[in-house]
Amino acid sequence: MNRAVVITEALGLLDEVGLDAVSTRRLANRLNVEQPSLYWYFRTKKDLLAAMAEAAMEPHATAPLPSPGDDWRDWFADNTRSFRRTLLMRRDGARLHAGTTPTGDLARLRRKMEFLVDSGVPERDAQMAMLAAGRFTVGSVLEEQADPGPGDDADLPADMPVIDHESAFEAGLALILNGLVHRTAM
């Protein structure tokens, strides 16, 4: 057993039982070890959850960085969609990610910000747009992952419209992007 195995098994447990049911006791049982042995790798459950969140974000964290010739608008939209796809890959992915600090991703974040600024986006607007897009995406995915879905909504009124989460996300992303384009043109 090593740290990577513990994280992989913890993410598997997350996908099976959901964030509320993830516990060090359950993880120890899954790994066929005594619960205190997990403390060799993670001092607290909070440390374990942070490591799980970082590992869960790996697909987005390894997505290609922007190149100087890329259109910043296309890149911004694609980057935000990549973040959403990654959060959706895990059960309760948005809840796991919410509130974490991307300490291992700071160089990539700087590179993304430099790209936007080099493309003509004012630095403060680039910062706020990245923050807004990130928070919008986490909130959208939180709602999507909490949606009971068709057939599980017996308590809802029959005339309640079904939400198309992807279309709603794309509409919100377009509003953020259009606002940034407008501010950049000023």
Q: pLDDT (tens digit, 9 = 90+) per residue, 67-82? A: 999 999 999 999 999 9
Largest CA distance in the chain: 61
Interval 163-169 mean pLDDT: 94
pLDDT value of position 86: 97
Give the count of beta carbons closer than 10 Å to the beta carbon of residue 60: 20
Interval 37-50 mean pLDDT: 93
What is the amino acid identity at position 128?
M
- Gap between the Cα atoms of 158 and 21, Å rounded: 32
Tens of pLDDT, residue by residue over 91-112, are 999 999 998 876 667 889 999 9
- Gap between the Cα atoms of 66 and 71, Å rounded: 9
Interval 76-91 mean pLDDT: 98
Residue with tokens 């959403």: 84
Tens of pLDDT, residue by residue over 4-29, are 999 999 999 999 999 999 999 999 99
What is the amino acid identity at position 78?
D
- Gap between the Cα atoms of 53 and 56, Å rounded: 5
pLDDT value of position 148: 74
Closest by Cα among 47, 63, 60, 50 to 134:
60
Q: How sure is the predictor about 160, in pLDDT bands with cuts at 50, 70 and 90?
A: confident
Counting every residue written for the chain, the total comes to 186
pTM as predicted: 0.91
Give the count of beta carbons closer than 10 Å to the beta carbon of residue 77: 17
DSSP state of 63: S
Interval 102-125 mean pLDDT: 90
Give the count of beta carbons closer than 10 Å to the beta carbon of residue 40: 12
